[in-house]
Amino acid sequence: GAVVSQHPSRVICKSGTSVKIECRSLDFQATTMFWYRQFPKQSLMLMATSNEGSKATYEQGVEKDKFLINHASLTLSTLTVTSAHPEDSSFYICSARRGGTDTQYFGPGTRLTVL
Amino acid sequence: GENVEQHPSTLSVQEGDSAVIKCTYSDSASNYFPWYKQELGKRPQLIIDIRSNVGEKKDQRIAVTLNKTAKHFSLHITETQPEDSAVYFCAARGNNAGNMLTFGGGTRLMVKP
């Protein structure tokens, strides 16, 4: 159990467009989901924490109007990169945590390339 | 907030040897310390975790030790195999309401056959 999926796995878009990434917990209810960004050969940088039914909590330096997060259900969270620019190109990974537990399970990631 | 330092950044060992990766954390209230393995282009996979009420935990060839006084924890891999080659991340959950993890910088482990 504890499978997390992410879609799409890879996306290429033009500068100025918006891209939506979905994160789903397939076999458990995730009260909390996390969104990370990972640059090549670097660690995971937490962008925001989202709890089902409430507004996301963004880390310092992360623009909430640029990275829109919605956690509408216990199995789905979405990250929308608005007006994407080449510097937004990165590997975005979500994770999900079952309520009352410690473990975060990661999705497979989405590689975003903005031309 | 929490700060996690991880060493070494790269580690090369011969197959069959042991590998040790060390992490230190800053928040004395941290109570949960997972280790993740990430292969190239793939998702981080939890390999072992430890809570602050335990000093050591072992799972086959993998063990983790925690020293709360010194605020450091270590991952030990014995009898390393080529398939252990990956990037390993430690993390700590500090005193925060969001159950957020702070990750170390990662260690690239290379096991030479």
* A97·B99 Cβ contact <8 A: yes
Chain B touched by A93 (CB under 8 Å): yes
**CB of B37 closer than 8 Å to CB of B19:** no
Shortest Cα–Cα distance, A106 to chain B (Å): 6
- Residues in chain B within 8 Å Cβ distance of A102: 32, 34, 49, 51, 93, 99
* B49·A103 Cβ contact <8 A: yes
The arithmetic mean of pLDDT across residues A15-23, rounded, is 97
* Confidence band of B12 (pLDDT split at 50, 70, 90): very high
- Residues in chain B within 8 Å Cβ distance of A31: none
CA separation for the pair B15, B112 (Å, rounded): 6
* B106·A42 Cβ contact <8 A: yes
| Residue B97 predicted with pLDDT over 80 | no
From B84, B91, B63, select the one nearest B11 (Cα to Cα).
Answer: B84
| Residue B17 predicted with pLDDT over 90 | yes
Q: Would you call A87 helix, strand, or coil by DSSP?
A: helix
Kindly report, residue by residue over A47-106, the tens digit of the pLDDT: 999 988 888 999 999 999 999 999 889 999 999 999 999 999 999 999 999 888 889 999
CA separation for the pair B63, B70 (Å, rounded): 18
The answer for residues whose C-beta is within 8 angstroms of residue A63's C-beta and 6 or more apart is: none
Residue-by-residue DSSP string for A4-31: EEEE-SEEEE-TT--EEEEEEESSS-EE
The arithmetic mean of pLDDT across residues B23-48, rounded, is 95
* B93·A97 Cβ contact <8 A: no
CA distances, A25 to each of A71, A107, B21, B49 (Å): 12, 9, 31, 21
Report the share of chain B in percent with pLDDT over 90: 88
**CB of B2 closer than 8 Å to CB of B91:** no
Chain B touched by A105 (CB under 8 Å): yes
Q: Which residue has the tokens 């109570």?
A: B31
* Confidence band of A1 (pLDDT split at 50, 70, 90): low
pLDDT at B59: 95
Chain A touched by B94 (CB under 8 Å): no
pLDDT at A72: 82
Shortest Cα–Cα distance, A28 to chain B (Å): 17
The arithmetic mean of pLDDT across residues B85-90, rounded, is 98
